Chain A
Amino acid sequence: MTDLLNNPAVQAGVVPFVVGTLIGAPLARTRYLAVAVLAGLAALLALTIGFSMEPFTSVKKLLVITLVAALLSLGWETAQRSLSPRAVGVFSLAVALAGVWMIQRVLVQQEARQAWVMGGATAAYLLVLMAGSLATTARDSLHAPLVGVALGWGSGALAVLGASGLLGQIGIALGTACAAVVLVQMVRGRVAPGAGTWGLPAAAGAGLVGVLACVTAELSWQFLLPLLLVPIAPALFPASSRPLWLVAIGKGVAALVPAALAVAWAYLSGGTVSPS
């Protein structure tokens, strides 16, 4: 059993999926599905690096930002407020600035021009990604986790190709926990209520994984660009009156297309890694 739980694929894939499903199932009628996503991520951390915040590295900051995003989502859903364009803008800007804070220790070691470019690119990428994710998932509790799946898996795979197994596991765990949330809705045959903000922690976490894979590992920035299309890709599959499970699969595949393109591009450019 210990050997199984030490397997990186089990840590990032199986366990977050099982935990996300067990937590998500009773929450499927509520607005609090963000808890299931958070639980899946927590399960990964319990099996890998633990919950200690020392040293307070950029990875720990990523986890804190993701936690805060989840708490914001829970608070917003509790208040039962809809996600207005202004709220989308504020949340997106907050994540963008948090991303710059996350890489602050790296920025201060750069020359001024390089720091501005790195910080600006980080903020711009996260701003666009979050705005797209929140704007397209507002009031759609199926669209939100589908975007989370594609962003999580895409960022995670890119991080692995960029030579960071830990960042890869974090991204994949986020995506897999979102997949569990999709599954519980498919089984129930009904979309969960809510403003869709609980896509916020998954999108934020996945976006930050991509940034860190570029800043602290060997991923090149350009491979993140196709991920900006993930939030809008599910719209290519019209929902109409199709059964929920078919809509979920169709939109899910559509969301995964740009993520798969990003990963294929990175892989074909020589970004593979062998086990250490």
Chain B
Amino acid sequence: MNLVSKTLLASLLPLSAWAAPTTYMLDPTHTIPYFAVNHLGMSTVQGHFERTSGNVTLDVAAKTGAIELKVPTATISTGDGKRSDGTRSRDDHLRSADFFNVAEFPEMVFKSTKFNFKGDKPETIEGTLTLLGVSKQVKLAVVGFNCGANPMSKQQMCGADLAGTIKRSDYGMKYGVPAIGDDIKLTIAVEAYKQ
């Protein structure tokens, strides 16, 4: 094999990683769903869920993919958790039947139905979000998609932020609307390692 052929073959090697569907397992410590909601028209309350599990499948050559995220709703955190004087906190309120009703619905799930690519990178993901037992179609923008080796572990990984907006009332979470905003901005930071 001459030098040109070897060079050409070497340049094609990274692309071979995309030639077939590749499964990635979500890194639970770096896959974090964040949300933001307007409070009384005054400011934005921001929060997140502290644990997520799931997996991603990506086939860049075929321009398809799949992602499933499972989020335990009891892990919600808005910076007002346990109080030293024992009084009920905002997070306690959010876990109650007024909002996430974690006792009845301990999990919310996002499951994709379609990946839309722009070039070699996913641009949007369409899927179903199931919250409070209600499933609705949502479309998430894929922001900052990137793949490479983790600089410390050298393990192949991919990551992106998934961004979108939902109306919580569509899922039956109507308490406090409109004083507590109906529109919820979602940003799901996703990092996943190749299996």
Q: Which of A48, A215, A271 is the one whose CB lies under 8 Å from B87? A: A271
B148 close to chain A: CB less than 8 A: no
- In the complex, what residues of B have CB within 8 A of residue A57's CB? 97, 101, 104, 132-133, 172
Q: Mark A144-174, 1 if CB is under 8 A from B, else 0.
A: 0000000000000000011111110000000
Within 8 A of B (CB), among A227-276: 269-274, 276
- List the A residue with the shortest CB-CB distance to B85: A270
User: Which of the four size classes fits the interface of chain B?
Assistant: 20 to 34
CB B172 to nearest CB in A, in angstroms, measures 4
The answer to whether A269 and B86 touch (CB under 8 A), given A50-B174, A106-B103, A276-B176, is yes
Within 8 A of B (CB), among A37-77: 48-50, 52, 54-59
Query: How many angstroms from the CA of A194 to the CA of B179 in the assembled complex?
Result: 42
Q: Is A166 touching B133 in the complex (CB atoms < 8 A)?
A: no
Query: Is chain A's interface secondary structure helix, strand, loop, or mixed overall?
Result: loop
- In the complex, what residues of B have CB within 8 A of residue A212's CB? 97
Task: Report the interface size for chain A: residues with CB under 8 A from the other chain.
Answer: 33
Query: How many angstroms from the CA of A52 to the CA of B169 in the assembled complex?
Result: 11
Q: CB within 8 Å of B: which residues of A?
A: 6, 48-50, 52, 54-59, 105-106, 109, 161-167, 212, 215-218, 269-274, 276
Given contacts A55-B133, A164-B96, A276-B176, 9 further A-B contacts (CB under 8 A): A163-B88, A163-B92, A163-B93, A164-B93, A165-B175, A167-B97, A270-B86, A273-B93, A274-B89
Q: Show 20 A/B contacts (Cβ-Cβ < 8 Å), sorted by A.
A: A48-B174, A55-B132, A56-B133, A57-B132, A57-B133, A162-B88, A163-B92, A163-B95, A165-B93, A165-B175, A166-B97, A166-B98, A166-B175, A167-B97, A212-B97, A270-B86, A271-B87, A271-B88, A276-B93, A276-B180
